[in-house]
């Protein structure tokens, strides 16, 4: 394999490049990113970088010299707009084409749009460095912020803004935040944690409409409540960035469909990161996860697969979140079908285990780092839920 093209400008793409070189690939590598900035990490964008306005170079995944040292041609501001997998040709905006022997697809996700906010001023989302930079400038004490969506990013922005002295309201369509993932009992824990710091919640409530007035936006909720907002943050989830693959030969269905090794349905095309849907044999199910560590590991794994390895990618997923003084860590993969047991809870920490049938499938550890490692090992070893709960 001579020429490899990596499409995407973030953590999965950079780790694919790194994985290729580490695995001994000596041919050409071109990294193609729609962004105009060198690849940077996103997790801080809703946390400390949003609070303190960190500069772009402090978030870089690799220093500028790294690309040169590794003989990587970097094309920034170069969005892929199409692919002919049979002809092994990638089409870029502006009519340019790139041929390849191997391709890594790592174009991640984009925020899900909320049509009713089109044309409304002072509406923000938090996905890119630019988004966080603009929002940082706007987060001034005393301003009224309405966050639409109580997912992890919405809650992180709520905590960051509250710490900066804004009045923060969170609107969530579900009766309790995070119910779909963690269940109502733990969702209440998150809500209470934020309420204790002065965040207001409007749950079980949709947005009816947003009216633009000279005194700020008026967010009218389905039950008639009206919230006045100097700023609105939309945090209603993301969708895989795979429109450019339409008709390419790479099959897409709410993500890029991959096999266990991260090969796509097209020859010599692998994928990595937030947009990958693949069968994780450890859990016996097909999943797509939007988590930083997964993007790192999949980037590396996809690179090795492209070079001919045939190993299944079967990790225990992991993510973290920081909200006020809570260091939240989660291992495993759960949804509303899993049962939840809180096995430890005091004023500052909490441990909850998740299981389906006999099987331990996840653990939420808040300010409890030791339990995280134990639970990860238990999930890997197929320990039963009952046994794990009895030992916790
Ligand atoms: C604000 C925020 C906070 C987060 N916090 C956490 C956290 O605390 N813990 C955690 O585990 N995870 C967190 N995440 C998730 C984590 O950042 C993502 O899982 C990770 O960024 C996924 O990396 P990726 O490379 O797959 O995709 P992305 O980060 O989405 O990057 C995709 C890249 O591809 C580029 N691109 C898109 N389309 C094209 C195209 N057509 N052509 C060329 N380039 C294209 C994009 O511009 C982008 O550079 C957070 C994410 C955000 C946004």
CATH, residue 179:
3.50.50.60
Same domain, 16 and 32: yes
For the chain, give percent helix, strand, coil, nearest 5: 30, 30, 40
Q: Judge whether 313 lies within some domain.
A: no
Give residue 392's pLDDT. 73
- Name the residue of 34, 110, 235, 318 to mutate for ligand 1: max ligand atoms within 8 A of Cβ: 34
Return the ligand 1 atom nearest residue 272 CA. Answer: 26
**Among 273, 306, 339, which residue terminates a domain?**
306
Atom number, ligand 1, closest to the C-alpha of residue 46: 1
Q: Rounded to whole angstroms, how far apart are CA atoms 231 and 74?
A: 36
Same structural domain for residues 157 and 64? no
Q: Give the residues across from 356 on adjacent strands.
A: 359
Tell me the C-alpha distance between 231 and 47, whole Å.
Answer: 17
Nearest to residue 181, comparing CAs of 285, 337, 289? 337
Residues 54 and 91 in one domain: yes
Under DSSP, the state recorded for 37 is S
pLDDT of residue 298: 98
Q: Where do we find the tokens 């071109």?
A: 30
Question: Comparing C-alpha atoms, which of 391, 366, 367 is closest to residue 377?
Answer: 391
Considering 187, 211, 234, which residue would you say is the last residue of a domain?
234
CA of 133 to the centre of ligand 1 (A): 16
Based on the fold, state whether residues 27 and 105 are members of the same structural domain: yes
Instruction: Look at residue 336 in the predicted model and tell me its pLDDT.
Output: 85
**Which ligand 1 atom sits closest to the C-alpha of 35?**
47
Name the residue range of residue 89's domain. Answer: 4-110+238-306
**Cα-to-centroid distance, 218 and ligand 1 (Å):** 31
* Lining residues, ligand 1, CB within 6 Å: 7-13, 32-35, 42-43, 45-46, 79-80, 106-109, 126-127, 153, 241, 244, 273-274, 290-293, 295, 319-321
Asked if residue 278 lies in contact with residue 286, where contact means CB atoms within 8 angstroms, the answer is yes
For CA atoms 76, 132, 173, 177, the dihedral sign is positive
- Spans of the chain below 70 pLDDT: none
Q: Of 191, 215, 234, which residue is a domain's last?
A: 234
Overall domain count for the chain: 3
The preferred substitution site among 5, 107, 330 for testing ligand 1, maximizing ligand atoms within 8 Å of CB, is 107
Same domain, 132 and 199: yes
- In a domain, residue 314? The reply is no
Residue 253 and residue 105 share a domain: yes
Render pLDDT for 65-89 as a digit per residue (tens, 0 to 9): 999 999 999 999 999 999 999 999 9
Neighbours of 157 (CB within 10 A): 28
Encode pLDDT of 96-136 as tens digits. Answer: 999 999 999 999 999 999 999 999 999 999 999 999 999 99
Same domain? For 228 and 253 the reply is no
What distances in angstroms separate CA 34 from CA 16, 180, 241, 357, one per listed residue? 17, 32, 11, 44
82/135 same-domain check? no
What residue's CA is closest to ligand 1, atom 27? 108
The CA 215 to ligand 1 mean position distance, Å, reads: 35
* CA-closest residue to ligand 1 atom 14: 43
Whether residue 158 is found in the same domain as residue 264: no
Q: Using one digit for the tens of pLDDT, what is the confidence trace for 168-178? A: 999 999 999 99
Residues 119 and 228 in one domain: yes
Residue 359 lies in a domain: yes
Q: Are residues 253 and 106 in the same domain?
A: yes
Hey, whose CA ends up nearest to atom 3 of ligand 1? 43
Same domain, 271 and 185: no
| pLDDT computed for residue 214 by the predictor | 87
Residues 376-388, buried b or exposed e (16+ Cβ, 10 A)? bebbeeebebeeb
**Closest CA to ligand 1's atom 48:** 9
Per the prediction, the chain carries an average pLDDT of 96
Q: Rounded to 5 degrees, what angle do the CA atoms 44, 48, 53 make?
A: 95
Determine whether 307 is exposed, middle or buried from the number of CB atoms within 10 Å of its CB (0-12, 13-18, 19+): middle
Question: To the nearest whole percent, how much of the chain has pLDDT over 90?
Answer: 94
Determine the atom of ligand 1 nearest the C-alpha atom of 289. Answer: 19
SS3 assignment, position 92: strand
Q: Whose CA is nearest to atom 30 of ligand 1?
A: 108
Asked if residue 125 belongs to a domain, the reply is yes
């Amino acid at each position: 394999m001579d020429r490899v093209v990596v499409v995407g400008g973030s953590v999965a793409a950079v780790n694919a490049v790194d994985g290729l070189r580490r695995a001994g690939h000596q041919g050409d590598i071109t990294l193609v990113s729609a962004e105009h900035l060198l690849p940077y990490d996103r997790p801080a964008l809703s946390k400390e970088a949003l609070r303190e306005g960190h500069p772009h170079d402090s978030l870089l995944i690799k220093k500028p010299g790294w690309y040169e040292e590794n003989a990587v041609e970097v094309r920034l501001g170069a969005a892929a707009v199409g692919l002919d997998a049979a002809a092994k040709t990638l089409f870029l905006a502006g009519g340019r084409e790139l041929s390849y022997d191997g391709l890594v697809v790592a174009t991640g996700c984009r925020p899900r749009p909320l049509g009713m906010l089109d044309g409304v001023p002072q509406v923000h989302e938090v996905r890119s460095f630019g988004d966080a930079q603009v929002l940082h400038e706007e987060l001034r004490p005393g301003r009224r912020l309405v966050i639409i969506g109580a997912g992890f990013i919405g809650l992180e922005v709520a905590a960051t803004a509250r710490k900066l002295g804004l009045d923060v309201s969170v609107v969530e369509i579900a009766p309790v935040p995070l119910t779909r993932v963690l269940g109502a009992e733990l969702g209440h824990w998150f809500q209470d944690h934020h309420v204790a710091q002065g965040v207001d919640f409007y749950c079980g409530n949709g947005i009816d409409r947003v009216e633009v007035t000279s005194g700020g936006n008026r967010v009218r909720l389905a039950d008639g409540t009206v919230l006045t907002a100097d700023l609105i943050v939309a945090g209603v989830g993301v969708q895989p960035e795979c429109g450019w693959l339409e008709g390419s030969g790479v099959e897409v269905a709410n993500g890029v469909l991959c096999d266990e090794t991260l090969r796509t349905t097209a020859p010599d095309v692998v994928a990595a990161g937030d947009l990958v849907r693949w069968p994780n044999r450890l859990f016996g199910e097909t999943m797509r996860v939007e988590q930083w560590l997964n993007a790192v590991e999949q980037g590396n794994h996809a690179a090795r697969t492209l070079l001919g390895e045939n190993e299944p990618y079967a990790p225990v997923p992991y993510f973290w979140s920081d909200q006020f003084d809570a260091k939240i860590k989660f291992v495993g993969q759960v949804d509303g079908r899993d049962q939840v047991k809180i096995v430890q809870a005091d004023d500052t920490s909490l441990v909850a285990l998740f299981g389906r049938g006999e099987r331990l499938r996840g653990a939420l550890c808040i300010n409890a780092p030791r339990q995280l490692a134990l639970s990860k090992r238990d999930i890997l070893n197929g320990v039963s839920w009952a046994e794990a709960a009895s030992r916790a």
